[in-house]
A = this chain, B = another copy of it.
């Protein structure tokens, strides 16, 4: 392999920590930054150090936040009696953009995955139980991903909530809008058929 010097190769290697970036893309990004966009590179290095230094997790909902309590948790206008539980911070953004939900969130940062050593503690379940025990929450909305692990995590949490007599709901499964019936997978179609709604 033709060498370009250790600093360039470190940068190529370091860029591969980004999701979806392989050796070729990392090399292309390195040349782009060093040949054509050094200002952008400076800004990126600065933004990255700043974010890594100052962005922590919200103490209450565990979303990424620069303050101890995130903007949503410290917003008195939001309902305190609804709690929507999601896997990732990006799910919070998606729900905020798509719905009029004005309650609280709780971010698990993953799903139960015993094989990878991810158990209830890593997902902040003890903290979630504390929230349940404060008795302000009247409804738990489970919005985990519709995967095997997401469903298992949702099932686990729903049991915890039901033990404390908190009603639990889950996002509706069914045919996505704009889809064609022919191309919907059979699991979804069977779910949508058995869960048909009267009109």
Q: Which residues of A contact B (CB under 8 A)?
A: 1-8, 10-11, 13-15, 17-20, 25, 27-35, 37-38, 40-52, 54-55, 63-67, 70-71, 88-90, 92-93, 96-97, 109
Picked from B29, B65, B96, the residue with its CB within 8 Å of the CB of A19 is: B29
Picked from B29, B35, B88, the residue with its CB within 8 Å of the CB of A109 is: B35
Contacts of A97 in B (CB 8 A): 1-2
Most chain B beta carbons < 10 A, residue from A4, A25, A30, A50: A4
* Number of copies of this kind of chain in the complex: 2
CA separation between A70 and B28, bound complex, in Å?
Answer: 20
Picked from B40, B44, B71, B90, the residue with its CB within 8 Å of the CB of A31 is: B90
Chain A at the B interface: mostly helix, strand, loop or mixed?
A: helix
Residue in chain B with minimal CB distance to A93: B2
CA separation between A138 and B51, bound complex, in Å?
Answer: 54
Contacts of A30 in B (CB 8 A): 51
Contacts of A31 in B (CB 8 A): 64, 88-90
